[in-house]
């Protein structure tokens, strides 16, 4: 079976490369212009750029001390890429590109530094702060939000189809009853 990539999938693969480049480029800039732990205010104390390195997963979630982050990332990227190749739904393909770009961006860091460079720092004060993250984490998070929205939309569509089918069956039953009574 020969696989043909249409214009849209080629465009998404180009977007994938661009997203990975943005992630890697911003990490490179932060790593080479900040001291480790340095924080610079962008929007007061609410949004800062803070250079940290994260040896764990998304948003500093520790899975285990010997979790194979690199191999897991490679497997996830490969599985999602295969799904992407065969998926026909454009929306889902866009979501898969976000997942792959995020996983690839953080994989590059793990291969190069054995940890991930993070720098987006949001919070209200020094005690109420979201874990520091990067573009790759954002791609994965946005992909998850879009996937949940997609699932909800699909469920609602299926429910409407089911409701419409039930209504058509009820109408047909009533017509049959009327014919029997006549």
Residue 49 bridge partners (DSSP): 40, 120
Compute the C-alpha angle 42/46/47, nearest 5°: 40
Q: b or e along 77-108 (b: 16 or more beta carbons within 10 Å of the residue's beta carbon)?
A: beebbeebeeeeeeebbbbbbbbbbbbbbbbb
From 109, 118, 121, 163, active-site residue: 118
Of 23, 109, 121, 137, which residue is the catalytic one? 137
Short-list 121, 118, 111, 114, CA closest to 135: 118
Does residue 121 have an active-site annotation? no
Q: What is the Cα–Cα distance from 167 to 60, expressed in whole angstroms?
A: 50
Q: How many residues belong to the chain?
A: 182
Distance CA 122, CA 130 (A): 6
Q: Are 137 and 103 in contact (CB under 8 A)?
A: no
Residues with a catalytic annotation lie at 118, 137
């Amino acid at each position: 079976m020969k696989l043909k990539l249409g214009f849209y999938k080629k465009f998404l693969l180009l977007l994938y490369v661009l997203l990975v480049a943005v992630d890697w480029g911003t990490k490179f800039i932060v790593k080479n212009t900040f001291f480790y732990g340095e924080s610079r205010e962008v929007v007061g104390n609410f949004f800062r750029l803070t250079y940290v390195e994260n040896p764990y997963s998304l948003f500093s979630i520790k899975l285990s001390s010997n979790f194979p982050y690199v191999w897991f990332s490679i497997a996830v990227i490969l599985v999602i890429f295969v799904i992407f190749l065969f998926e026909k739904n454009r929306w889902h393909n866009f979501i898969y590109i976000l997942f792959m770009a995020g996983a690839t961006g953080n994989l590059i860091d793990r291969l190069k530094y054995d940890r991930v460079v993070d720098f987006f720092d949001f919070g209200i004060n020094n005690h109420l702060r979201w874990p520091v993250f990067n573009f790759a984490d954002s791609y994965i998070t946005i992909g998850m939000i879009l996937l949940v929205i997609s699932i909800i939309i699909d469920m609602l569509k299926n429910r409407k189809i089911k409701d419409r089918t039930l209504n058509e069956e009820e109408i047909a039953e009533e017509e049959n009853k009327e014919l029997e009574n006549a």
